Amino acid sequence: MDPKRFAETAFGQAATRPGDKWAFTYYRPSPLPRSLDLDSNTVLALSEADNALGLLNGLAQLIQDPQVFLGPFVTTEALASSRIEGTKASLSEVLRAEESTEERKTDDVAEVERYLAATYESLELVKTLPISQRLIKKIHKTLMSGVRGEEKIPGEFRSTPVWVGAADDTPDTARFVPPLPEHLPDLLHDWEKFVNDPVRIPTLVKCGLMHYQFETIHPFLDGNGRIGRLLVGLLLLQEQRLQSPLLYLSGYLETHRREYYERLQAVREDGEIQEWLQFFLVAVRRQSEDAVSRARDLVNLREKYYADCRMDRSSVSALIPMMFGNPFLHARRVQRELQVTPQGARNLMEKAAEKYNWIEQVGAIGRGGMTLWMARGVMEIIDRPMAYGQPYGL
């Protein structure tokens, strides 16, 4: 890491281990500020992000049973956050894998599934635990166990230095070297107090600062990006800015991946905190707007399906929440969740396909070649491109 690139700012400075003539340069963050003056562009970005987030939260409170939509939102977040780290898997691959215990899963799909498991675990933990070192170690263990990177001590903070750069970089050539392991206890203690103690900082700004500091501390050997992005949604729940976890930022951050990394690095090198916060707040606004649009379309489609079968005396309407939880269906899942016979499950799916055009056959899964069906209308909404392809800007 080139110390000449790093100015000494309120957010940290380049440093070396005292008394060690062979020591490499690393970045040592300062404690997080408990108050912060925002410039006019940041205030504008905050206002727009607050409005968009409020609309999303209001919509979530109006939706009957918003948990029905949680699965697709969490799955698309898991995919986007994993893709930022280089994992390659499609939404259909992950959703199909959820419906088959027999088919061999790729390493990429397995990593996304661990992210899903970590997300659902975190949503339960945050109901009884504050966002803390204990919580992040628990979800990190779930995220990293049984997949690539498992050897990197899941659930434990690193005890060795790390650096961020190309595969063949050293600490001297890497662009960024996080703080040394001996600094982690004090830095994480300050981070934890910042997250949980009252501060004179708006919640969304607090989220942006929390995420920046976590990524800069880099407490784990691997998985820091995924855990850090997951924490944003948890803090919004903890601060009661969201009643349901429908906001996830990784879709926007994946689309603007290069600028995401550059904005974080510019805080470290030049103290450009306002520019980072503006980028982060625009991400909140645009992701909230996309989530509102997607949730509304899902609600409208669900209501159409219920209207389609209003006069139907069969239990075909029971398939509707199943389709929205995961648009891939097969007879065994329907049989299990609806407590019907195998033939009863097949009859319901055939009616859903032939009479109502809700689902269609898309292949087979498992050793027995069980027919797999997909709710195309649902899939098209949750898998469509995000609605913010334009470059970052206020």
The verdict on 65 and 96 lying in the same domain is yes
The verdict on 45 and 82 lying in the same domain is yes
Does the residue 390 lie in any domain?
no
The verdict on 91 and 56 lying in the same domain is yes
The verdict on 234 and 283 lying in the same domain is yes
* pLDDT tens column, 35-52: 999 999 999 999 999 999
Distance separating alpha carbons of residues 358 and 351, to the nearest angstrom: 9
Specify the 3-state DSSP secondary structure of 28: strand
* pLDDT tens column, 125-172: 999 999 999 999 999 999 998 876 667 789 999 999 999 988 889 999
Report phi then psi at 88, rounded to 5. Answer: -120, 110
The verdict on 274 and 330 lying in the same domain is no
The verdict on 109 and 144 lying in the same domain is yes
Tokens encoding 366: 């498992």
**Cβ pair 340, 315 in contact under 8 A:** yes
Place 100 in a pLDDT band, splitting at 50, 70 and 90: low
Predicted local confidence at residue 359, as pLDDT: 95
**Number of independent structural domains in the chain:** 2
The verdict on 217 and 270 lying in the same domain is yes
**Exposed e or buried b per residue across 226-248, where buried means at least 16 C-beta atoms within 10 angstroms of its C-beta:** bbbbbbbbbbbbbeebbebbbbb
- Whether the pTM exceeds 0.85: the reply is yes
Domain that holds residue 378: 314-383
Mean pLDDT computed over 92-98: 73
Does the residue 388 lie in any domain?
no
The verdict on 248 and 378 lying in the same domain is no
* pLDDT tens column, 265-275: 999 999 999 99
* pLDDT tens column, 344-378: 999 999 999 999 999 999 887 766 678 889 999 99
The verdict on 281 and 324 lying in the same domain is no
H-state helical runs in the chain: 40-62, 70-84, 91-98, 107-125, 133-144, 184-196, 203-217, 224-238, 250-255, 257-270, 273-308, 319-325, 331-338, 342-354, 376-383
Place 20 in a pLDDT band, splitting at 50, 70 and 90: confident
A 10 A CB-CB count for 377 gives 18
Place 186 in a pLDDT band, splitting at 50, 70 and 90: very high
The verdict on 58 and 128 lying in the same domain is yes
The verdict on 180 and 275 lying in the same domain is yes
Does the residue 389 lie in any domain?
no
Judged against a pLDDT cut of 50, whether residue 391 lies above it is answered with no
